[in-house]
Structures are given as C-alpha cells and as structure tokens.
C-alpha cells in the first residue's frame, strides 16, 4: 500500500538534513541564503513531488518511502572543496561511515557522490549524497532511507542528479 504522507522517520531525517545542510545553511556573515532559481531537473515518473519544506528547494517521495531532496545556495562556500561540503551536510550525525565516494561530472561541472551510513538520535540511516558546484552555486542532492537503498534507487537518483540543467546549459 502506497503512503501519501512521508514516513515519520523520513520526516525526522529530512528535517535533520535540511537543518544541517552545510552547503545551504552554514557559513559566515549574516547574509540571506540565495537559492538557484533557474535550474531544471527530470525526476522519474514514479517519484511523488512533495515541493519544498522551507529548507530544501524540492523533495520527492519514492515508492519505497525513501526521500530525495535538492537544496541550492549561491552565496555560501564557493571555495570549499566538495569533500568539505559533504562533511558539513553530516554535522550533527553520529557513527558516520562513508562507505563509498566517487567523483562525477554533472552538467559539465565537478561533483562528488558519497554513500553514507550514520545515525541521528540513535536512529540509523543511509544517505546517498551528491554535491555539485555549478556557476557559483552549490547543489546538494540527498537520497535518505531509514533502512536500505536499492541499487535501482541509486541508479535513478544518479540519473536525476545528472539531469541538472542550470542557467544556459
């Protein structure tokens, strides 16, 4: 049976990741975060768009109940490395284990994919994270799961990330 609401654990993780999204929230100065607004993505048909939660640009619920979020920022951390930006996304998590890292090219720009196992408030979770730097902006893509992420979900997630078209691409 498909749930029309986000799983409560996924909501907790989504709130946690959105709150601690280093690329979009943390940083010096008191300037307001500027989001990228002229980019496009192509989500798989089976994903249900959930819109923005106020912290992320977009959120999607997968048929499994797992959640994908996209967050952009254009005035923070332009000089930080992709590894530093990825680690900032994990601030507040415990028992962090980066199981896999892979450099990618997304829409002609450098990106870093990471598979992470961690916990928050004693609850274990898995994350597929891709951080992309493109034309002065940073895009954080997260696939979150309290249980498992299937090979097909990872494949769909990476296809989704690689569909990024920003500005005049």
| Spatial contact of 35 and 73, defined as CB atoms under 8 Å apart | yes
- pLDDT confidence of residue 169: 58
Q: Where are the domains of the chain?
A: 8-166
Q: Name the β-bridge partners of 106.
A: 109
Q: Name the β-bridge partners of 127.
A: 116, 144
Superfamily of domain 8-166: Mog1/PsbP, alpha/beta/alpha sandwich (3.40.1000.10)
Instruction: Kindly report the pTM of this predicted structure.
Output: 0.80
Q: Each residue's pLDDT tens digit in the chain (169 positions)?
A: 334 444 444 444 444 444 334 444 334 444 555 777 778 899 999 999 987 666 788 999 999 999 999 999 887 666 789 999 999 989 989 999 999 999 999 999 999 999 999 999 889 999 999 999 988 889 999 999 998 999 999 999 999 999 999 876 5
């Amino acid at each position: 049976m498909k749930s029309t609401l986000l799983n409560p654990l996924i909501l907790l993780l989504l709130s946690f990741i959105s709150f601690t999204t280093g690329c979009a929230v943390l940083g010096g100065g008191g300037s307001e975060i500027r989001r990228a607004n002229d980019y496009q993505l192509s989500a798989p048909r089976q994903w249900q768009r959930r819109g923005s939660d106020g912290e992320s640009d977009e959120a999607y619920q997968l048929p499994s109940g797992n959640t994908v979020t996209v967050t952009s920022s254009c005035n923070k951390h332009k000089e930080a490395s992709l590894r530093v930006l990825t680690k900032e996304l994990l601030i507040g998590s415990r028992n962090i284990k980066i199981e896999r890292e892979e450099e990618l090219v997304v829409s002609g720009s450098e990106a870093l994919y990471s598979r992470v196992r961690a916990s928050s408030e004693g609850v274990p979770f898995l994350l597929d994270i891709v951080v992309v730097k493109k034309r002065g902006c940073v895009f954080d893509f997260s696939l979150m799961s309290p249980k498992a992420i299937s090979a097909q979900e990872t494949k769909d997630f990476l296809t989704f990330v690689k569909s990024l078209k920003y500005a005049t691409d």
